[in-house]
Structure 1
Amino acid sequence: MTPTKPPKLNPRKLLLSKWTAVAPQNREKHFIVSKVLWPDDPTLPLELIELEAVHSKRIQLLPWRALQDTATWRQGWH
């Protein structure tokens, strides 16, 4: 099996993007980026996003770069 390259992500286009957990837990497989938490200082880089589970509506804070881990996340709903 060929390892997949991490997706190139633009932080400005993350809002409302869809993600699938590779190993779902608690029947939470599909997620959507519900909020991008930009820092108060515009010179600082983006660090965190809010990821909402579609099934349970549970929200978790996540470093946005964690979405590039193809062992954990796949872009889109699969």
Structure 2
Amino acid sequence: MNPIQPNKLMLSKWTAVEVVAKQKHFLVSKVYLPEQQEGQLVMNAQVEFVELEAVYTKARRKVAWRELADTAMWKQGWL
């Protein structure tokens, strides 16, 4: 398991264990927080999803942030 702190995910670097379509290195380009109810103040909101941007092709994909903890799929940093 990769140790992940949700508040430090933005712009973090990740390497996919298996290369697909020349996409191996990724950067977290966006962090998705839960939807707010109208008039409700959300304090210390938890991250739900992150958007990964491929460095080589600039393709983007949305994944659950906890998926990044799976070392069979992701390694932290660019290896």
TM range (shorter): 0.7 to 0.9
Sequence identity percentage: 48
Higher mean alpha-carbon deviation, 43-52 vs 58-67, is at: 43-52
Say if 2:18 is the partner of 1:23: yes
Q: Name the residue aligned to 1:3.
A: none
Q: Name the residue aligned to 2:39.
A: none
- Matched residues, number: 73
TM-score by length of 1: 0.87
Structure 1: segments with no counterpart, 5+ residues: 1-5
CA distance in 1, matches of 2:6, 2:46: 9
The one-letter code sitting in structure 2 at the alignment partner of 1:18 is K
- The CA deviation at 1:46 is 1.6
Q: Name the residue aligned to 1:48.
A: 49
Higher relative contact order (CA 8 A, sep 6+): 2
Structure 2: segments with no counterpart, 5+ residues: 37-41
CA distance in 1, matches of 2:51, 2:4: 16
- The CA deviation at 1:62 is 0.3
**After the TM superposition, which segments of 4 or more aligned residues of structure 1 sit over 6 Å from their partners?**
none
Q: What does the per-residue CA deviation read over 1:6-42, in whole Å, with 9 as the maximum and x for residues that have no partner?
A: 1221111000000000001000010000011112332
Query: Which has the greater radius of gyration?
Result: 2
Say if 2:6 is the partner of 1:11: yes
TM-score by length of 2: 0.85
